[in-house]
Structure 1
């Protein structure tokens, strides 16, 4: 795969992922707000005001997740995003960090 084709596939995977996360947040019973500005999706837990931030890192073709518990770098490995430090896939990682910050179970159903 050429670098341009690889970048195109990465951009498509990121966009699809961010839309899926937004849709899951819309359906979630937990009171969360989100705002998307370009390549950054900020999720705010309304009960305590803490945030989880997902950001596109095009230069390294990763998706970064920033949470109170730390920063996580995920690479796209078919069929999904995998964290280089924890080995978690994106749905597992997001459910975990959102649950930790909420102080109660959160399941986005991704």
Structure 2
């Protein structure tokens, strides 16, 4: 994957997460600063952070349960430690932090 392809994949992914958050039923605020997307669960103030790691061409997710490194494997992002794809990983960590099932219905990333 070239740097340009990586940059495009990150941008598509962060935009897809933002769109999913806009359409979800949970009170999850988000703020984006460049290639860092911070999700804040309003019920308890905990955060999940997605960030670009250009040197490794990875997407990192930081949550209360740990840090996760994802590499792009067609057709989407895959976690190197858990084997989860990004939608599954995000739903899991958000559910753990929210204390009830969360599904962003995130597709295509």
Same-fold status (TM-score > 0.5):
yes
| Aligned pairs (5 A) from 1:34-73 | 34-73=30-69
Match of 2:23 in 1: 27
Give 5+ residue unaligned stretches, structure 2. Answer: none
Runs of 4 or more consecutive aligned structure 1 residues displaced over 6 Å after TM superposition: none
Task: Note the aligned Cα RMSD (angstroms).
Answer: 0.7
Corresponding residue pairs, total: 106
Give SS of 1:34's match: strand
CA distance, structure 2, for counterparts of residue 55 and residue 21 of structure 1: 12
Q: CA deviation at 1:95?
A: 0.2
Instruction: Kindly name which structure, 1 or 2, has the bigger radius of gyration based on alpha carbons.
Output: 1
TM-score (norm 1): 0.95
Taking structure 2 as the reference length, what is the TM-score of the superposition?
A: 0.96
